[in-house]
Chain A
C-alpha cells in the first residue's frame, strides 16, 4: 500500500525534523528546552533514587571487599597519616589563633562563612558527550545554579541548573566547564577548562607564572560565585597547557555538598551617583 508507506516515511521525516529542531533549540540555550529538561529530571529523580538503592549496596559491597583485602596495609598508612595530621592540627590551631589576633589588629573584614546543602547523586551521564551528575536536591532545598559542588577531597564541579527537587552538576572535566582558579603557592590566576577527558587543563595562565608538577590548584573566587580556596587538584603534566588531576574521582561519589556562598558585593550606587556607603 503506497499510501501507508508514504505516511510512514512522512512520520519518520517529521520525527527526524523534530529531533534536529530540538537540538538546534538546545544549542541556543532555549529556556523552553531547559524547563522541559528540568521538569523531566524532577519527575525522574525520585524513581532513580529508588532504583539507586540496590546499586548503592552493590557499590558498598565492592568497596568493602576491596577494603578487606588491603586492611593491614591501609591501617599502617592511616596511622602514619594520623600522626602527621595531628602535627598539622597543632600548627593549624596556632595559626588560627595568630590569624584571629592579626585580623583583630588590622580590623580585616572576614569573608562570609558559607553554608552547605548535602545532596545525593542519583544519576550520572555515562557517555562520551557530557560530564554531569544528577542530584536529588533542588530549589526547594536552596540549590541555585552556580553553586560549587564539593566532597571531602575538594571541588568537583558546580550546579548547572536547578529544578524544584533535582539539580544537575557540571563536573570540572566537562567540555563546557570553566572555573577561575589559582596556583596555591604563587597565587597566579588561570582558568581550569575541561575537555571531557579525565584531566582538565589550565589555560590563560600569566606568562610569568611558573607552574610546577605537583602544585595544588584551588578556586580563586574571582567570578564572585565560588568561595576562594576550594582545592580542586594538582598539576600532573606541563607540556603545552598544564593538566590537572582532580582530587576527587566523580564516579565514586554518592553524596556531595553544595556551597551556599554569598560573595561580598559592592552596595548599589544611589541615584545621584554617590555610593550609598559614602553618604551614610
Chain B
C-alpha cells in the first residue's frame, strides 16, 4: 500500500521536476546578486530550460506551462508583462515542432541550434521591448545575453540531464 503511494508520489515529483527546475533557474534573473555590470547580461536560463524540456520531455513542458513561467518572470522582474511569456511559448512551440531533428543529431548540432534560437530570442526581445518602451534600446546587452546563455549551454544541459536521471526514473 505504502509502496504504491510512494510510487505515485515519486511519479508526481518526477512530473513536476521540469516546471520546478525552470522556476528555480528564473532566480538568477530576479535576485539582487552583487555582480557589478553583469546584471544586464544575466543569461536567459529559463529559455534554455524550456528548450531542453521541449526536446526531452515535451509532455511535461506544454506551451501553457511555458506561458505561465514566462508570465511569472515578467511579473516579478518588472519587465514588460507578457514579453517573456510570449518568448517562452514561441520557443516551446518551435522546438517541439523540430524535436526529431534535435533528438537525432549530435550534441554539437544541438548547441548550434540553441545558439541560433538564443540569437533569435535576443533579436525578438530587442524589437518588442523597443516597440513597447517607445525607444530604440541598445542591442549590445541583448546580444551579450544570448552569448552568455549559449556559453552556458553545455554545463546546463549536463546539469538538467543529471536531474532528469535522478528525479524522473519513474516517469
Query: B61 CB to closest chain A CB, in angstroms?
Result: 13
Q: What's the Cα separation between A123 and B34 when bound, in Å?
A: 11
Give CA–CA (A124, B81) in the complex, Å.
Answer: 15
Contact between chains at A129 and B75 (CB < 8 Å): no
Would A126 and B33 count as touching, CB distance under 8 A?
yes
Distance, CA A117 to CA B41, complexed state (A): 31
Chain B interface category by residue count: 35 or more
Q: Which of B8-16, B100-108, B130-138 lies at the interface with chain A?
A: B130-138
The A interface, classified by DSSP as helix, strand, loop or mixed, is helix
Q: How large is the interface on A (under 10, 10 to 19, 20 to 34, 35 or more residues)?
A: 35 or more
Separation of A48 and B33 alpha carbons in the complex (Å): 12
Across-interface contacts of B77 in A (CB, < 8 A) = 123, 125-127, 130, 132
SS class, residues of chain B in contact with chain A: helix
Q: B115-168: which residues lie under 8 A (CB-CB) from chain A?
A: 125-126, 128-129, 132-133, 135, 137-138, 141-142, 145
Q: How far is the CA of A18 from the CA of B71 in the complex (A)?
A: 11
B138 touches A197 (CB 8 A): yes
Known contacts A20-B86, A126-B42, A251-B36; A51 and B27 CB within 8 A of each other: yes
Task: Contact check, B137 vs A125: say whether CB atoms are below 8 A apart.
Answer: no
CB distance from B136 to the nearest CB of A (A): 10
- Least CB separation from B82: chain A residue: A22
A156 within 8 A of B: no
List the A residue with the shortest CB-CB distance to B130: A129
Q: Are A33 and B33 in contact (CB under 8 A)?
A: no
The 4 closest A-B pairs by CB, nearest first: A22-B82, A19-B86, A126-B42, A128-B141
Could you list which residues of chain A lie within 8 angstroms of chain B, going by C-beta atoms? 8, 11-12, 15-16, 18-23, 25-27, 33, 36-37, 40-41, 44, 48, 51-52, 55, 59, 62-63, 121-130, 132-134, 160, 168, 175-176, 195-198, 249, 251-254
